[in-house]
A and B are shown apart, each in its own frame.
Chain A
Amino acid sequence: MQQVFKRPASLKDVQTHFCPGCHHGTIHRLVAEAIDEFGVQKRTIGVASVGCSVFLYGYFDIDVVESPHGRAAAVATGVKRARPDSFVFTYQGDGDLAAIGTAEIIHAANRGENITVIFVNNTTYGMTGGQMAPTTLVGQKTSTSPFGRNQEKDGAPLRMAELLTQLEGVAFSARVAVNSPKNLMDAKRQIKKAFRYQVEGKGFSFIEALSACPTNWGMNPLAANERVGSEICAYFQPGVYKNRENL
């Protein structure tokens, strides 16, 4: 008998704390598979951010530095500049990257730091209990937008994958969803492209992964998964927004 499916070597054999239907585990797996396939586990340094993503080191069998809230891209800059031979990625949520860490992500991207950023967009602050995020959709009710996000007062949701393409330092920027087998396969392809940019020393690469947060959306896992494919993909359209070297 041949084993055709197994846990990636870069993931630990442990239970996660993620809620039922949460996509973090799926995205972890795709990232871990890509680490394995590039053979970089032994020289990888992950940068964990603040939020549900912070427990990265509990699930990945790699060296990890924990960053203050929003500062992962700056921490990763320090790591990569000091150890240019290491493979460095950050894993950040939408509150972390697109609100408190906006300056850090834009400037790390603009400097063309040779790192990869995995940006998990679930349109809410998950860890703190479902508050309005910079990516919360207009009209979406959260614990701090109880009447729904009001574009006139709160602004429109930030599209980071598109925004970063304006910066010369960005080599690769793509948005993926992990809500269906087809989208999962594509997400894996794009993550591998992003990694390839770093492995070949070709500059800053960015993956935005649309993700479900059933608990804070007040939905069951199936309904939350469907929302990713409908409402969320409609505003945050998946696609490759920049691929400088056509990898």
Chain B
Amino acid sequence: MKRLFVKGNEAVAMAAVEAGCRYYFGYPITPQSDIPEYFSRVLPGLNGEFIQAESEIAAINMLLGASATGVRAMTSSSGPGISLKQEGISYMAGSELPGVIVNISRSGPGLGGIDPSQADYFQAVKGGGHGGYHIIVLAPASVQEMYDLTMLAFDLADIYRTPAMVLADSVVGQMKEPLVPNKRGDTKLPAMDWIVRGKGDGEQRVVKSLFLGDGELEAHNWKLHAKYQQMKERECRWEEFETADAELLVAAFGTTARIAKTSVVMAREAGLKVGLLRPITLFPFPEKAFADVTKKCKRVLDIELNTGQMVEDVRLSVARDATVDFYGRPPGTGSLPTPEELFEQIKKHY
């Protein structure tokens, strides 16, 4: 297949269109504005709808409404805008609505800056809104993965009737790389027997998250919980690199993993037995992969572009006698580590 040379943000939009998404609702925010710009050009010609909403809050609720009718739809934003969407994400999780949300995150807190950041990990994987829920979170590390994981996000959202998030940053969002624009697969999707469409001659359908009857909400939450367990069993994805004989395991995701991989190669060239485990799904977190690798490899160095978030999940996942150290820098201008910097850390912890 022909290779293209595109930005990560464009790859997200191209994948969404290939996945059948014809409805996009968003609001401008750096560094993701290429995504709404792409949809505003392309969707009108595909009989779709692009709305530049009055706010992130409105955008996520337009997504909620469109998803309730069974169409593939998405929104995208960055840190502060994702915070505003959390109310709607909680309602979508509670109402069991699919839908894709892309976070090309910024550094924070507050207005922060537009530098690459991994400080939205907690917000994404721990249920950023109220009420106790999870959404699927996918963390691409390349333009190709921006494309492939966006496509996957639509399938997983439909299969589990859940919001799914692609969590990236301005490095993968703004970087141009070769892309093979894969065709949509033939994933078997469950029947959409719950969507609203006008009752016709059938029974009334209601999409809601309010459950006031005795025991109803508890039962609903157990149902959601069972779904999250099922995701943990079936949907964990990760990349292992040089882990077979590793004596030090580097754990990192997204952009940081991309940099760390170069550092691991440098370490191998220097004769150090270092491997890399890169979670691709942040929720569900590949707990078993960490447990398996740390049966033999007892030292882990978790590296993030924040002051320590995913490291908590790594510590909960590794074998009991494994030790987990952390190296990270809070996001901000100039804080993106170089491969040499991470190589020094690897040597220090080896």
- Interface, chain A (partner B; CB < 8 A): 41-45, 47-48, 54, 57, 61-68, 71, 74-83, 86-87, 103-104, 106-107, 111
Query: Is A71 within 8 A of B61, CB to CB?
Result: yes
**How many angstroms from the CA of A62 to the CA of B199 in the assembled complex?**
6
**How many angstroms from the CA of A62 to the CA of B18 in the assembled complex?**
33
* Partner among A57, A63, A81, A104 whose Cβ is within 8 Å of the Cβ of B61: A104
Q: A-facing mask of B10-28, CB < 8 A → 1, else 0?
A: 0000000000000101000
With contacts A63-B199, A67-B61, A107-B54 known, what are 13 further pairs, Cβ within 8 A? A62-B204, A64-B206, A66-B206, A66-B207, A68-B91, A74-B62, A78-B65, A79-B69, A80-B65, A82-B49, A83-B69, A86-B69, A103-B57
Query: Is A83 within 8 A of B197, CB to CB?
Result: yes
Instruction: Judge whether B189 is part of the interface by a CB distance below 8 angstroms.
Output: no
**How many angstroms from the CA of A210 to the CA of B49 in the assembled complex?**
35
The 7 closest A-B pairs by CB, nearest first: A78-B65, A43-B198, A66-B208, A74-B61, A78-B62, A78-B66, A107-B54
Query: Is A78 within 8 A of B73, CB to CB?
Result: yes
Q: List 21 A-B contacts (CB under 8 A).
A: A43-B200, A57-B204, A57-B206, A63-B205, A64-B207, A64-B208, A65-B68, A67-B61, A67-B91, A68-B87, A68-B88, A71-B61, A74-B57, A74-B62, A78-B23, A78-B61, A78-B64, A78-B67, A81-B23, A82-B23, A103-B57
- Interface, chain B (partner A; CB < 8 A): 23, 25, 49, 51, 53-55, 57-59, 61-69, 71, 73, 87-88, 91, 95, 196-201, 204-210
* Partner among B57, B62, B88 whose Cβ is within 8 Å of the Cβ of A77: B62
Shortest A57–chain B CB gap in Å is 4
Shortest A86–chain B CB gap in Å is 5
With contacts A64-B206, A65-B65, A77-B65 taken as known, whether A45 is within 8 angstroms of B58 at the C-beta atoms is no
Shortest B60–chain A CB gap in Å is 8
**How many angstroms from the CA of A19 to the CA of B66 in the assembled complex?**
34
With contacts A68-B87, A104-B58 taken as known, whether A63 is within 8 angstroms of B197 at the C-beta atoms is yes
Q: Give the interface centre of A66, A77, A82, A107 by most chain B CB atoms within 10 Å.
A: A82
Q: In the complex, which residue of chain B has the Cβ closest to the Cβ of A87?
A: B198
Chain B contacts of A54 at CB under 8 A?
210
**How many angstroms from the CA of A45 to the CA of B206 in the assembled complex?**
9
With contacts A79-B68, A104-B54 taken as known, whether A63 is within 8 angstroms of B73 at the C-beta atoms is no
Query: Is B204 within 8 A of A77, CB to CB?
Result: no
Chain A contacts of B71 at CB under 8 A?
82
Chain B contacts of A77 at CB under 8 A?
51, 58, 62, 65
Query: Is B54 within 8 A of A103, CB to CB?
Result: yes
